[in-house]
Amino acid sequence: MTQAPHPDIQHTVRAKEWFETLRTDICREFEQIEREAGSDACFEYTPWQREEDGNEDPGGGVRAVMKGKVFEKVGVNVSTVRGNFAPDFAASVNGASADNPGFCATGISLVAHMANPHVPAVHMNTRFLTTGKSWFGGGADLNPPIPYEEDTADFHAAFRAACAGHNPTYYDRFKKWADDYFYIPHRQCHRGVGGIFYDHLECTDDASWERNFTFTKDVGQTFLGIYPKLVRRRMDSEFTDADKLQQLQWRGRYAEFNLVYDRGTLFGLKTGGNIDAILMSLPPEAVWS
């Protein structure tokens, strides 16, 4: 099996550099929140290398994790990997096939589980992939154990505004996509209060690449603009044992979704990613009743 040539290396490098910049900005902001809470917690950065037989340059990434007073556990991972999909998995990936299994992928993935149950957990991911096609995907969704209409409205308003600056159809399309995707069929409920989710924003030329890259950057910047505001709004709230139990139960549902349905988890496992980075999304503690 030969690896398909990667025609988009310059674009991959630019996307990778942006994801790393976004990670730096997010980690700095989250550490600042910890300082405001009287904590000296910092992110720990752990590099990892991917392995693939016959591949001299399979890539890797850096796993960044912080456990603090406000952020019980938050991970911000950036990875850039390249190689070949297994034939059975290639058939399920846009632009790939058993005859053309080569791929390159770079992206940032963030999950935050919070100490205070009044502070919403959150997920954010953006990525750029090249197979036989090139495309961007990603999004962000809010996962509050104790929902507040104000927080939900502000989160959605931020992403509605971001989408409106690019395409008037984006927000409605991508909100529905998030609602449909972040649903737990066996529980018959959503994982949280939604957000936006998009995939396969294809790049057929430089103009479409720049357009989709600009949108993807705005998704990351919008997340950085809104989520810390929600954390600061709720992080000093008093909570009861019943509040904490509700948080732990919702964390169980979060774990169920990520282990059973999440595409990112499956992609990481199927492409030989770092297990600790892939399962970073799981909460530090959860209950099932």
Give me the active site residues, please: 123
Tokens (6 digits) for 110: 């963030």
Distance between CA 142 and CA 152 in Å, rounded? Answer: 8
96 phi and psi, to 5 degrees?
-110, 160
Return the bridge partners of 47, or none: 62
Residue 37 CB neighbours (<10 A): 18
CA distances from 60 to 16, 24, 39, 46, 192 (A): 12, 18, 31, 11, 30
Position 279, amino acid: L
How far apart, in whole angstroms, are the C-alpha atoms of residue 239 and residue 244?
7
Q: How many CA atoms lie within 13 A of 253 on its CB side?
A: 21
Determine the Cα–Cα distance for residues 29 and 35; give it in Å rounded to an integer.
10
How far apart, in whole angstroms, are the C-alpha atoms of residue 222 and residue 102?
A: 32
CA angle 273, 71, 224 (to 5 degrees): 75
Rounded to 10°, the helix 149-164/206-234 angle is: 160
What does residue 71 show for φ and ψ, rounded to 5 degrees?
-90, 100
